[in-house]
Amino acid sequence: MDRNTLLAFALSFLVLSIWMTWEAGNRPPPDTALVTAEATPTPIPTIPTSRPAPGATPTASEFAPPPPLESELIQIETDRFRATLDSRGAGIRHWELSRYTTPSDEGGLPVVLIDRAPDDPVAFASPMMELGLGDLAVAVFRVTERTARSVRFEYASGGLVVGKTYTFQDDSYLFRLALEVQNGTDRTVASGFVISLPDHVRSGTDFKEASLEALVDGEIEKTPINGFGEPGFFSSGSAQQIFTGPVAWAGSGSGYFLTAMVPESPSDAQAQWLKTEPSGSVAVQLGYPPITLPGPSMLSRQYEIYAGPKKPEQLAAAGAQLDRSIDLGWSWIAPLTRGFIWLLSKCYAVIPNYGVAIILLTVLIRLVTAPLASKQMRSMKRLGELQPKIKELQERHKDDRERQSQEMMKLYRESGANPLGGCLPMLLQFPVFIGLYYALQSSFDLRQAPFALWIDDLSRPENLFVLPGFDLPVRLLPLLMGASMVLQQKMTPTTADPAQARMMMTVMPVMFTFLFYQFPSGLVLYWFVSNLLAIAQQFYLNRQKTA
């Protein structure tokens, strides 16, 4: 790509980044009123933001609590995950994936999606404060049924029984949670059947882009966990965001993993994101407007919960449009991104090395776009050859701008050059680059995929070595890419002033080298190989006579 193309990409990235940030920060807040069966506005019950002392018994406002119980931990294990359920809160305290590990320099341990401290509320707890039984998110339930793949918890008090049943599968990351309330009294109670997923800022490559996510009314809502609820230039710093539906699912995820709660009735479901304590902690809640339950009667709600990798086939099998959690770019670019992901897998099938597959994919893309690139390069070459005559016209008519423009247009017509001839090919290549960018960013198969030598993970920046005393990683691919940009610009004809050309020859490579220094090595490899192919194409065209 020539200097103008690179500059256009840089400016486009800047404009798009500013627009996306502004749009996210200025989106009108959703209606925060949740409607009961009697159409009375009632907010969805929230979890408490402070933790009770360990061993504390929830207080009741209407019913006497049952005798205190000792909490019990229950282990569930399949070939896909290992889970620890806790009768305190009747939820999941620990969930790790058996088939996926962290990078070797981060311990090589199983990837953990849920890990709650002993005094923290568990995942998928149901506070149900509206029942008047206290905070059931920290209450100790009885284990009434237990098999190798299912557990039932019950909490009974004052004629009310709250039941929670978890059912797991051997061959899936999807499991079911049935939540029920039995009202054995002559009173009328109400419940929103809310479940909560707490999360927090975590270290590690797999969670560096952790975010709160939800599919609301057909649109993906997403915000980083880090900084949620904090005031900023584009954010009001609100500690709560409510979605009144329809809500297909809500949860938290990162680039490669997702924990999502799916309601049985998306059209009625509502969700909210909350900032909790301590700093950096958040919670995702999913439930319904409070539903009245006269006694004696029983009412239940069911949820499906996915806690696993963001692999398209796994998410598609789980349903509920969970595959929308994979970031494929804007809707108009998503089909192109899917095409590149498919093509990358086909290249990998030929040579089972994703680094080589990226190189093959780059060559194929360059072959397809070669006619457009050649047209752009030839246009730049013609303009470069006309530069002496253009400067002569500018000097001759420097006091008559109108005559200067007329003579320059005449010169362009006679020579067959078009000052805008390189713009259209450049614009047509732009969607290709964006689609490939998202394909390489979102492809789960690139996670921990080695290439060669020291490049052992194409989804992370490569490190050749670290400068002792400075803790500065030396990354060869971005440096080679920057050098290839300098060579490419030297070979590319330009109509710019020599001083400006020298400045751009320094500024652009330095800027892109700095930008790509933090990019995954797979993306840098693509750009480096693409530059080498562009240099070869430019060398060939420079040796030809201008048509």
First-to-last CA distance in the chain? 21
Q: How far apart (Å, rounded) are the C-alpha atoms in residues 450 and 522?
A: 10
Question: Rounded CA gap, 253 and 276, in Å?
Answer: 18
The CA-atom distances, in angstroms, between 474 and each of 292, 449, 467 are 63, 20, 7
User: Which of 24-28, 69-73, 181-185 ranks highest by mean pLDDT?
Assistant: 181-185
| Average pLDDT of the chain, as a whole number | 81
Tell me the residue ranges of DSSP E strands in 225-348: 240-243, 247-253, 257-263, 270-276, 281-287, 291-294, 297-309
| Residue 1: its H or E element | none
Q: How far apart are CA 423 and CA 372, in angstroms?
A: 10
pLDDT at 496 over 70: no
In this prediction, residues 35-54 reach a mean pLDDT of 38
Residues above pLDDT 70, as percent of the chain? 79
Interhelix angle 3-25/498-516, nearest 10 degrees? 50
Q: Nearest CA to 182 among 65, 288, 296?
A: 296
Q: Which residues contact 266 (CB under 8 A, 6 or more apart)?
A: 245, 246, 247, 248, 249, 320
Band (pLDDT 50/70/90 cuts) for residue 18 is very low
CA 226 to mean position of chain CA atoms: 13
Strands 465-467, 472-474: pairing is: antiparallel
Place of tokens 């701008």: 401
Q: How far is CA 268 from the centre of its chain?
A: 26
What average pLDDT does the segment 65-73 reach? 76
What is the mean pLDDT of the segment spanning 349-371?
88
The closest alpha carbon to 283, from 291, 292, 274, belongs to 274
264 pLDDT tier (thresholds 50, 70, 90): very high
Q: In this predicted structure, what is the pLDDT of residue 90?
A: 96
| Cα distance between residue 317 and residue 172, in whole Å | 9
Q: Average pLDDT, stretch 346-368? A: 90
What percent of the chain has pLDDT above 90?
41
Q: What confidence tier does 280 reach under pLDDT thresholds 50, 70, 90?
A: confident
Q: How many CB atoms lie within 10 A of CB 386?
A: 21
Per-residue pLDDT at 28: 39
Given this model, what pLDDT does residue 547 score? Answer: 44
Stretch 465-482: mean pLDDT, rounded? 87
Output the pLDDT for position 181. 95
- Please write the tens of the pLDDT for every residue from 297-329: 999 999 999 999 999 999 999 999 999 999 988
- The answer on pLDDT for 37 being more than 90 is no
pLDDT of amino acid 54: 38
Residue range 357-367: mean pLDDT, rounded: 89
pLDDT of amino acid 418: 63
Q: What is the mean pLDDT of residues 270-274?
A: 94
Residue 139 clears pLDDT 80, i.e. is over it: yes
Average pLDDT over residues 275-291: 88
- For 151-210, what is each residue's pLDDT tens digit? 999 999 989 999 999 999 988 999 999 999 999 999 999 999 999 999 998 888 888 889
Distance, in Å, from the CA atom of 270 to the CA atom of 167, rounded to the nearest integer, reads 23
> Phi/psi class of residue 217: alpha, beta or left (left: φ > 0; alpha: ψ in -120 to 50)?
left
For residue 114, the cross-strand partners are 95
Q: What is the mean pLDDT of residues 111-132?
A: 93
The SS3 of residue 145 is strand
pLDDT interval class at 41 (50, 70, 90): very low
Rounded distance between C-alpha atoms, residue 310 and residue 322, angstroms:
9
In whole angstroms, give the CA distance from residue 439 to residue 433: 10
276: tokens are 């909790």
How many helices (H) and strands (E) the chain has is answered by 10, 21
Q: pLDDT class for 53, splitting at 50, 70, 90?
A: very low
* CA atoms within a 13 Å half-sphere pointing along the CA-CB vector of 144: 13
Q: What are phi and psi of 84, to 5 degrees?
A: -120, 115
pLDDT computed for residue 50 by the predictor: 38
Per-residue pLDDT at 39: 30
Distance separating alpha carbons of residues 94 and 172, to the nearest angstrom: 17
CA distance 305 to 115: 16
Residue 131 CB-density burial (10 A; 0-12 exposed, 13-18 middle, 19+ buried): buried
**Neighbour count for residue 59 (Cβ, 10 Å):** 10
pLDDT confidence band for 261 (50 / 70 / 90): very high
Sequence letter at residue 533:
L
Average pLDDT over residues 362-388: 75
* pLDDT reported for residue 421: 55
pLDDT at 175: 97
Asked if residues 290 and 253 have their Cβ atoms less than 8 Å apart, the reply is no
